[in-house]
Chains A and B, each alone.
Chain A
Amino acid sequence: MVLRGAAWPRPTRPSWSARSMYRLHRLLRPNPANLVLARLLERHPRLNRWFTEAEKQVKGAAFGCRMCGQCALPATGYACPMTCPKQLRNGPCGGVSATGGCEVYPDTQCVWVTAYERTETEGRVSDLTLLQRPIDHREWGKSSWINYWQGRDEGLWTEDDGLTRTHLVLTDLRAGGPQE
């Protein structure tokens, strides 16, 4: 499911600038229209498949998206942390080379170094200090846009110490998880 084929995830430098993405993000924010769209798509499996495939193609080309279904891009300068071979949502790890190379692919820049450069340029380094909660592996392959528009991604990260809003880290956040 997570790692298919011979290669580990490889750090990917986004093809679109961080600034253009922050602008585009304003249009994609949850609103009544895309909420209706998201609900409609979830009711119709075939439409949902087409939509999800389109998201996969667009985000795959732009960010190396692997469809984890719980998108961290707005908090990482639009450098996808799931392209890190260790899939660190709270990177970078300590194995980054002196030139900023990935521990596993020394010739490729660490995706968290990329994230730092992009957020620094835009004055948003503080985004990288947010605590990113563990991901829900049941969401792989699903559309993160549909999740986002329905408010399911609101607990993906927190700026507190993770205890004030303990519920964020618990697996019962998403539907189907064990309840307290």
Chain B
Amino acid sequence: MSSPEQGRLRAALRSGRFAVTAEIGPPRGADAQAIVGKADLLRDWVDAANITDNQGSHTRLASWAGSILAMRSGVEPVMQLTTRDRNRIALQSDLISAGAVGVPNVLMLSGDHPTFGDHPDAMPVFDLDSVQLIWTARLMRDQGRLLSGKPVRPAPQWLIGAVENPFAPPLRFRAQRMGKKVAAGAEFIQTQFVFDLEIFSRWMGEVTDLGLEKRCGVIAGVGPIRTVRAMEFMQSKVPGIHIPDQVVRRLRGVTSDQVAAEGMALCVETIEALREMTAVAGVHVMAFGQEHVVPELLERAGVPPHTATAPSATAGSNRKDHDAR
């Protein structure tokens, strides 16, 4: 297993190389191959892949198990952890466990409310919120203590990640909200899907005004829209996704067999635009159920694959060739 200090994502953020992360949604079945298959598609193209935590409040294989399976397949995981399903005892326990098995990155979020998932009758926990969990994680790592004050020895060494949605009201508070997460200890932030570059640029301007991008890598969320139905689903059923009218018009303006190609083109253009923004540290590609298009997407956007196959072997100094800026 790779040593957390040598994580590929950490190395990318430290060196200023354009970072690429993607997403691996775990299966509902006890199916290790589902993770391995997606890891095979992404391995040569991403610095790390998020292993989602019961995404959308739908029960799936746990993110810690998915993270171990991804590491075995040579893909560096970002273990997601929501405050929805666990109290502070279980959250801290999972964070210690992640450290013990060598998970190099963790990412904390509150998570969608259970009403959106397959168990709307479940008890939501929300004992801590996302900022408090980030704060807790840093306390564990940097001070070697639990919330109870008890020592954690040795302290886990993962990189601490968080999320932010620049497109949800109150828009003028979103950069400051990211600032709270940075103050609490976040070292990288992945954003919600960027479909509206205007709002994103404005938010990014506020982020740089606060100097946050120097303390915390901003990784912009992107993803290809495959069908008009998928777009409608994202607009109506997934909380917090903003698709501006011009994008809707563009995808509705082509014949149904051309929507996927247009969605890809749009996503490629978005990645290219994001690479032009010097304060953006990388992209986070979310391609649910279409992981196979990620390599093509990145290649067309001019983000080359890395030649290495094992993250632990090459992380660090010899990866500067990947830097496109």
User: A: which residues have CB within 8 A of B?
Assistant: 3, 8, 85-100, 103-104, 110, 112-113, 116-117, 120, 125, 128-129, 131-134, 137, 160-163, 166, 169-172, 177-180
**What are 27 of the A-B contact pairs (CB < 8 Å)?**
A86-B124, A87-B129, A88-B126, A90-B132, A90-B180, A93-B130, A94-B164, A94-B239, A94-B240, A95-B112, A95-B113, A96-B240, A97-B169, A110-B169, A116-B170, A117-B170, A125-B176, A128-B173, A128-B176, A129-B179, A132-B131, A134-B132, A161-B183, A163-B143, A171-B147, A178-B148, A180-B149
Q: Is the interface of A mostly helix, strand, loop or mixed?
A: loop
A contact residues around B110 at 8 Å (CB): 86, 88, 93
B contact residues around A89 at 8 Å (CB): 129, 131-132
Instruction: Determine if B86 is an interface residue (Cβ-Cβ < 8 Å).
Output: no
Tell me the residues in window 281-300 of chain B with beta carbons closer than 8 Å to chain A beta carbons. none
In angstroms, Cα B113 to Cα A85, docked, is 8
In angstroms, Cα B170 to Cα A179, docked, is 40
B contact residues around A125 at 8 Å (CB): 173, 176
Instruction: Determine if B139 is an interface residue (Cβ-Cβ < 8 Å).
Output: yes
Instruction: Determine if B150 is an interface residue (Cβ-Cβ < 8 Å).
Output: yes
A contact residues around B163 at 8 Å (CB): 94
In whole Å, how far is A17's beta carbon from the nearest beta carbon of chain B? 19
Instruction: Determine if B247 is an interface residue (Cβ-Cβ < 8 Å).
Output: no
B contact residues around A91 at 8 Å (CB): 129
A contact residues around B124 at 8 Å (CB): 3, 8, 85-86
* Pairs A-B, 7 closest by C-beta atoms: A94-B165, A95-B239, A90-B131, A116-B170, A96-B168, A88-B129, A100-B169
In whole Å, how far is A56's beta carbon from the nearest beta carbon of chain B? 22
Q: Please give me the residue from chain B that is nearest to A179 by CB atom.
A: B149
A contact residues around B143 at 8 Å (CB): 163, 166
A contact residues around B139 at 8 Å (CB): 162-163, 166, 169
In angstroms, Cα B185 to Cα A170, docked, is 16
Are A172 and B149 in contact (CB-based, < 8 A)? Answer: yes
Are A95 and B168 in contact (CB-based, < 8 A)? Answer: yes
Contacts A98-B168, A110-B169, A169-B136 supplied; 6 other A-B pairs, CB < 8 Å: A95-B168, A100-B169, A103-B240, A137-B127, A177-B148, A178-B149
In whole Å, how far is A4's beta carbon from the nearest beta carbon of chain B? 11
Instruction: Determine if B192 is an interface residue (Cβ-Cβ < 8 Å).
Output: yes
B contact residues around A163 at 8 Å (CB): 138-139, 142-143
